[in-house]
Amino acid sequence: MKITLKVWRQKNKDTKGEFKTYQHDHVSADMSFLEMIDVLNESLIKKGEEPIAFDHDCREGICGMCSLYINGRPHGPLQTTTCQLHMRSFKDGQTITVEPWRAKAFPVIRDLIVDRTAFERIQQAGGYVSVNTGGIPDANAIIIPKKIADEAMDAATCIGCGACVAACKNSSAMLFVSAKVSQFALLPQGKPERAERAEKMVAQMDDEGFGACTNTGACEAECPKGISLTNIARMNREYFGAMLASYEVEVKGGD
């Protein structure tokens, strides 16, 4: 295959970026998208040019590091991670445009790499269970209905790739945050801190500069793990319930 690549090149967040065009004439349909960039980078290095910087790690669709915006869609034309996208999804002679995530909360580090530590700070704000649970309980000591366990597991499959933010016209992180809130709120182990968790994680999300959710559903449509919008509804219930409880405590305390 022969393809034309238009790739965003930018030295750092303080430098103006621009698209660079590359002709790639030695592409196999069986290559993954990242392998294709690897081959291109090898040719650039041989020419004495700077290779294209991009993020990756496991290359197994698990870690969520491969955050590329390809032809106007997060991770490309299929609902999967970039590392699991293969060149057979494109046509011979096609022009492919590759960009980093576009969001205020995800500043560009270099080329196609963005700083997604905002997600980590949201997680650190409350995405954990800190209560003292004592010794290790038997696996069946706490009975959890299968439906609830399945919903919690579905929420926990979120890999924090940021595709939801990249797909959203407002750069909202609601799908990511709601998945992390839900995976704890659904299970008994997470219920003691559910109110505090929702308040802190939503507050941190707002502080990071993510946009508001307007329920267009683009996040769910592009999520490589199929995280459901129902998690956003659950997070809103958790959050407003926590705010109402805090208000009642404040009013009663004032009396």
Structural domain span for residue 89: 3-110
Please state the separation of Cα 56 from the chain's center in Å: 13
Q: Do 176 and 72 reside in the same domain of the chain?
A: no
pLDDT of residue 127: 94
Residues in the chain: 255
- CATH number where 161 lies: 1.10.1060.10
Q: Decide if pLDDT at 7 tops 80.
A: yes
pTM of the shown model: 0.92
Same domain for 121 and 238, yes or no, is yes
Q: What is the pLDDT of residue 130?
A: 84
CATH number of the domain bearing residue 58: 3.10.20.30
Ramachandran class of 229: left when φ > 0, alpha when ψ lies in -120 to 50, beta otherwise: alpha
Higher-pLDDT residue of 23 and 244 is 23
**What are phi and psi for residue 69, nearest 5 degrees?**
-100, 110
Q: pLDDT at position 136, please? A: 67
Instruction: State how many domains the chain has.
Output: 2
Cα dist. 196→178, 189, 191, 216 in Å? 14, 14, 10, 28
As a whole number, the mean pLDDT across the chain is: 94
Give all strands (DSSP E) within the chain, no chain letters: 3-9, 18-24, 69-70, 73-74, 95-99, 108-110, 113-114
- Section 151-169 average pLDDT: 97
Instruction: Choose one of 93, 110, 127: the last residue of a domain.
Output: 110
Domain identity same for 148 and 74: no
Asked if residue 134 and residue 245 are part of one domain, the reply reads yes
Strand pairing category for 3-9 and 95-99 = parallel
When pLDDT is cut at 50, 70 and 90, the band that residue 88 belongs to is very high
